[in-house]
């Protein structure tokens, strides 16, 4: 077998295993887990070790006061971050067109000549 083929067949899976172990080694302390033990498991037991680590680690606690996208008590801004210079501008409607704020009776923008109310 040619050396290049052997290097690819051995090197690529080995690189993946080292990458998995490195990720586990760096991530484990954030979840209060033993980094060496879980990195060794992720390296020695291919792919299953990584998934075992991912399922065993605890979920990180969520603190809304640290989340810049939570919006605090303002429900209108929750989940939507708007740059300071863009506040106060008119919102966009479908396909980037300007929203019609005064014409709320017709929800759909039908082409001219199409009247679906007479069905």
Q: What is the pLDDT of residues 79-108, one digit of tens each?
A: 566 677 777 777 676 666 665 555 555 556
In this structure, are residues 38 and 53 in contact, taking their beta carbons and an 8 Å threshold? Answer: yes
Q: Minimal CA–CA distance to 49: which of 30, 22, 29?
A: 22
pTM of the model: 0.50
Q: 78 near 71, Cβ under 8 Å? A: yes
Q: Are 71 and 80 in contact (CB under 8 A)?
A: yes
Residue 55 confidence (pLDDT) above 70: yes
Whether residue 16 has pLDDT greater than 60: yes
pLDDT at 27: 92
Exposed e or buried b per residue across 56-84, where buried means at least 16 C-beta atoms within 10 angstroms of its C-beta: ebeeeeeeeeeeeebeeeeeeeeeeeeee
25-45 average pLDDT score: 92
The CB-side HSE value for 94 (13 A sphere, CA atoms) comes to 4
Residue the block writes with tokens 């039908």: 110
| DSSP designation for 77 | T
């Amino acid at each position: 077998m040619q050396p290049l083929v052997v290097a690819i067949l051995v090197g690529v899976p080995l690189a993946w295993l080292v990458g998995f172990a490195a990720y586990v080694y760096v991530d484990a302390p954030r979840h209060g887990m033993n980094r060496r033990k879980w990195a060794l498991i992720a390296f020695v037991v291919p792919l299953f070790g990584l998934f075992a680590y991912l399922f065993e680690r605890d979920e990180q606690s969520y603190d809304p006061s640290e989340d810049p996208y939570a919006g605090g008590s303002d429900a209108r801004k929750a989940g939507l971050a708007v740059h300071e210079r863009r506040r106060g501008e008119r919102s966009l409607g479908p396909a980037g067109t300007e929203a019609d704020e005064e014409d709320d009776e017709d929800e759909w923008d039908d082409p001219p000549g199409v009247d679906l109310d007479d069905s």
